[in-house]
Chains A and B, each alone.
Chain A
Amino acid sequence: MTEGSAGSDEEKMTIIAFSGDLDKLWPVTILASTAAANGMDVTVFATFWGLFPLVKDGEKIGHDSMTKMMSGMNAPGFTKAKLSKMNMGGAGSSMMRKVAAKSNLLPPEDLFEMCLDMGVNVWPCQMTMDLLGIRADQMRPGLGQPAGAATALARMAKSEINLFI
């Protein structure tokens, strides 16, 4: 199950990744990868808008007309993530990505892959998947089993660091 390393005495960090905004995906992926580099046991619980970046680019999500419309207005996939400020119909996001590339800051999708390589656990929220019509096979490979609030809380109770981003 999802609490594979619960018995270890390593320091733990749990991030509740709620937002899905481009500018918030950077702190999620930077802190998760760096904590893993520090030898911590790291879990990212992805819920609500935070689940959207984990959907593969180009997937059509939604199980009825309303959820399909919502995914049309908030396209899933890392590359579709919007800035929380100054998005300006996508111009702001594209500018921010250019600024980041110029300054050698990796895009969040690359940092996310490094997180997975370094053993960060990523748990999709089962309730959000059901609510918004996201199937497990539509999400990126390498994620953990979908989980619920009780699993996330059990993990948070054992973590020295807990963040909601």
Chain B
Amino acid sequence: MDVAKTVDATGQKCPMPILMTAKAAKELSPGDVMLIIATDAGARSDVPAWVSQTGNELVESAEEGDVLKFYVRKK
């Protein structure tokens, strides 16, 4: 998967992972995929909630230990 942009929110607490994600999404073109990396456990539900609220697409998510990864395609 081609990743156009990576949002590294490692160590950031709510609401920063979402604010960083929203900011990055503004710089993407439709169809671009961004990778969001977070360690805040709240992001497990917050990122999918943001994706559905904003009409974007969650392509894939993964957990590696405490690290959460989300691939989101901009609509």
Contacts and interface: CB of A to CB of B under 8 A. Distances in A.
Interface of A: 30, 33-34, 36-39, 103-106, 111, 114, 118
Nearest to A37: B22
Nearest to A105: B13
A55 B8 CA distance: 34
A37 B21 contact: yes
Contacts of B54: 38-39
Interface in B1-49: 11-16, 18-19, 21-23
Contacts of B12: 104
Interface of B: 11-16, 18-19, 21-23, 50, 53-54
B43 to A, nearest CB: 12
Contacts of B14: 30, 105
A37, A103, A104 — most chain B CB neighbours (10 Å): A37
29 contacts: A30-B14, A30-B15, A33-B15, A33-B19, A34-B15, A34-B18, A34-B19, A36-B22, A37-B15, A37-B18, A37-B19, A37-B21, A37-B22, A37-B23, A37-B50, A38-B50, A38-B54, A39-B53, A104-B11, A104-B12, A104-B13, A104-B16, A105-B14, A106-B13, A106-B16, A111-B15, A114-B19, A118-B19, A118-B22
A103 B18 CA distance: 17
Contacts of B21: 37
Nearest to A115: B19
A114 B16 CA distance: 10
A103 B13 contact: yes
A111 B23 CA distance: 14
Contacts of B22: 36-38, 118
Given A30-B14, A37-B22, 20 more contacts: A34-B19, A36-B22, A37-B15, A37-B21, A37-B23, A37-B50, A38-B18, A38-B22, A38-B50, A38-B53, A38-B54, A39-B53, A39-B54, A103-B13, A104-B13, A105-B13, A105-B14, A106-B13, A111-B15, A118-B19
